[in-house]
Amino acid sequence: MFLQHYFVNWLDKRIPAANEFSLNHRNIFIFPSKFGLLYLALCSLLFLLGTNYQNNLMLLLCYFLLAVFLVTLLTSYSNFAQLKVKLGRMPEVFAHDEIHLSLWCNADSANSITQHGIVNVGIMGQKMSQWFDADTIDNPLILTYQSQRRGWHTLPRITFSTYYPLGLYKCWTHLAFSRKILVYPKPVSCGVSLQHVSSASNIAHDQHSAHHAVQNNDDFSHLKIYQQGEPLHHVAWKQLAKGRGMYSKQFDGLEHVDMWLLMPTCSSSEVEEQLGKLCHQVQELSRQGHKFGLDLHYLQLSPDTGESHRTACLKALALYPHNYQSSAFAQAAGQ
């Protein structure tokens, strides 16, 4: 355990995190492979036999094989050092789902004659990996690993390795990317319920009032010209079909109050389940184009719509403090 921790700290200093990498002598490791060590053992055996029996042909063969071994060292490094790697767009991930990392790997096109061979890529410390031809690569490369919990996650190091061209040497590197990934709570299927209050300042006083489900049967009020960004399910499609233009239906009922998703007071063992339910409701309300706010007691996001509001709500749920639900807060909420 100590050696592993020491090795990780040494890697952080030797190959610091970055957005993209060009492989060079600063981040490449090279060492004889198992086949290369057997090759050296053969050379040693030939040398011993040649000197013992004073056989110049054996000595000549030994020196020739050693020359090939040294030339292969330079060739292996040169081919591997011409690769460039960068991380693609980060995906949207929920807890306990698979994270799919996209990597873009390109060989230096300055010398089109050079062959870069077959390269292996995988998550450092995991057995699962894949091989690709660096000369005919089909970008992006997709690496998959399991997310464990919500919150910010540092990406694991990515290992690239190759035995090209003769398998005598193994060239490898462990790359760390500076970007982090935010894992959202795993959605828990449930009904959508909203707290209706006239202003955000009254939320703390109305925590124990009844929750009302989102209704789609409010009384129709009037039509108005459709404004870009309004929910599509409010569009008066019959009017559009008759060629009268694009209008939006307006309803009486809940438009004069703010609608909020509220984090209920619960024990620490129930926090993750409640966050999962709120995550599901945020997804559903955003999909339907409803305007809503999110109250997590320590943080309030004002009612709004759109993709940016959905992302802000999911981020707030992902970063909800693990130790926030205290007895002091429970007592304050009960007053």
pLDDT 10s digits, 282-295: 999 888 888 888 98
Query: What does the pLDDT read at residue 191?
Result: 83
Question: Is residue 176 within 8 Å of residue 157, measured between CB atoms?
Answer: yes
Residues 6+ apart with CB under 8 A from 278: 185, 261, 263, 294, 317
Alpha carbon of residue 62 to chain centroid: 51
Mean of all residue pLDDT scores within the chain: 81
Question: Is residue 275 within 8 Å of residue 321, measured between CB atoms?
Answer: no
Residues 275, 30: Cα–Cα separation, whole Å: 47
Question: Is residue 142 within 8 Å of residue 100, measured between CB atoms?
Answer: yes
State both tokens at 209: 């009032």
Per-residue pLDDT of the chain (335 residues; tens, 9 = 90+): 678 888 888 888 999 999 889 898 899 999 999 999 999 999 999 999 999 988 899 999 999 999 999 999 999 998 888 889 999 888 889 988 888 889 998 876 555 556 778 899 999 888 888 888 887 877 888 898 888 889 998 889 999 999 988 999 999 999 999 888 999 999 998 887 777 664 444 444 344 333 443 444 455 566 777 766 566 666 777 777 777 777 777 655 544 456 888 888 888 788 889 999 999 999 998 888 888 889 888 888 888 888 899 999 999 999 998 766 544 444 444 43
Is this model's pTM higher than 0.75 or not?
no
Whether a cis peptide bond, with omega within 30° of 0, leads into 91 is no
Residues 131, 69: Cα–Cα separation, whole Å: 25
Query: What does the pLDDT read at residue 221?
Result: 61
Query: What does the pLDDT read at residue 116?
Result: 76
Residues 160, 87: Cα–Cα separation, whole Å: 14
